[in-house]
Chains A and B, each alone.
Chain A
Amino acid sequence: MKKIIFGIAFIVFFSFLVISAINMRPFGNPAFSEMDDYFIKNAQSEAGANNAVTSIVFDYRGFDTLGEATVLFTTIVGIVALFRRITK
């Protein structure tokens, strides 16, 4: 009985996904690209790097990388705390 209710809910949710995937904009024409055109044109002179993706990750959006490094560090501290009963 529970499986029938879960099955109907899953089919309804999956039909939402299918309808939105068919009505997406055509693949290969991004809509608003002014910010990325500025990055492609000026990343070599302002950041001095040939790699536009690395200059975005570490220079234009460095705060996101700081948050991500902190998340990775916190996860490792959590795993060491979980396994501490073994190594004692």
Chain B
Amino acid sequence: MKEMSKIVRNVTNLVYGFIIIFGFYIIAHGHLTPGGGFQGGAVVASAFALLLISYGQLKAKKFLNINIFSLLESCGLTMFIVVAFLGLGTTFFYNFLANSGSWFGHMVIPGINPGDMNTAGVLPLMNIAVGLEVFAGLGIIVLLMADGAEFTKKKENS
């Protein structure tokens, strides 16, 4: 896949950092505003797709490494299962940090309020775990399909 023109590459260099930061903002504030793990993970993966398209497939392999994505995805799913097992004193998937006073445990003012980030117990940890898994997984899919498109195209030229 050839790389695109100089205008496209310059705009991509300016913009892809903001897309990644916006995706992480959506993941981290999943318990206050609409969003969460799955939606934010899809936004971050679209930044990787933009990089892959505008730099071509040969050059993008130098700074998007499949082994790091594979490691991040496995870490995401493992963190999700470990956090689910930690509340096993009462039941599986118990929210043991809500309204408790330790890490994410402030009490919520009932009714309509401007959001407090320090609330909602186990939910931000699960959001981060699922967001990690989704963006690494979609990044792997996009990279492998670009590689496969190169592989299936070479046959008809020979």
A residues adjacent to B (C-beta < 8 A): 44-51, 53-55, 57-59, 62-63, 65-66, 69-70, 72-73, 76, 79-80, 83, 86-87
Contact = CB atoms under 8 A, between A and B. Distances in A.
B108 to A, nearest CB: 5
Interface size class of B (residues with CB under 8 A): 35 or more
B140 A80 contact: yes
A47 B121 contact: yes
Interface string B92-126: 01010011000001111010010100011111001
A45 B151 CA distance: 55
Given A72-B134, A76-B137, A83-B144, A51 B127 contact: no
A73 B140 CA distance: 11
B34 interface: yes
Contacts of A49: 31-32, 108, 119-120, 123
A39 to B, nearest CB: 14
A86 B73 contact: no
B90 to A, nearest CB: 13
